[in-house]
Structure 1
């Protein structure tokens, strides 16, 4: 599982001209699922991201976590995080098939909700326009192969 996590002041996703998810301060998460991923990996990834301390404290140091600032999550499925870039045209055979990816995408979000976070999301496999006001900018890459 791979996630690109951006600290945002606000973020939203639009599908077919309609805003389907919107948050204020928090994380915009682009989440990619690999064919070897499991529920356990989804849970561990959610825990790691939700506990990440990248919000500034009163001294301007990145020391606060998402819950300490009352932040929310906007989670967008992103199979392109598993792109094979050896050729000019990316290949996507390294991404999980929908029958595996959709339940793990849902599991990731449910784990975040269970921790008390408001979670907004896009739609799996939809054509989405994602908007964000990056804060910092602070952008982090999480990869389950490195956890």
Structure 2
């Protein structure tokens, strides 16, 4: 193998490893009503929690997954990612989906928390609607296509 082939092989392996790491899934059973540490990337800590909220008066509460982002760096960061909800039947906000992909800015040494009424966005996603008999069954949550800029 010449040097160019070795270099291309090494770069390819690093890409595969970083892609696999950045898209690890957290089973929904591991998400509780308390903030649960999910992962840390480049000084950004990701926490997840489940929140039930009555969205329609007189109906059962919906289940949301919220994200808390903690910037442990001494400088502000901008990040983009997909908060992907994986189901037995398919996926929401997965792959190249731009629907809920928005810029999140976090000041130095600060925290940003999602709220259920934010809709599908990087800091919250509707996980389950018990009022819909055809509602998909949630399996896992993942942070996908993460980009962090300082």
Q: What's the TM-score once normalised by structure 1's chain length? A: 0.29
Query: Larger strand proportion, structure 1 or 2?
Result: 2
TM-score, with length taken from structure 2 = 0.28
Structure index of larger Rg:
2
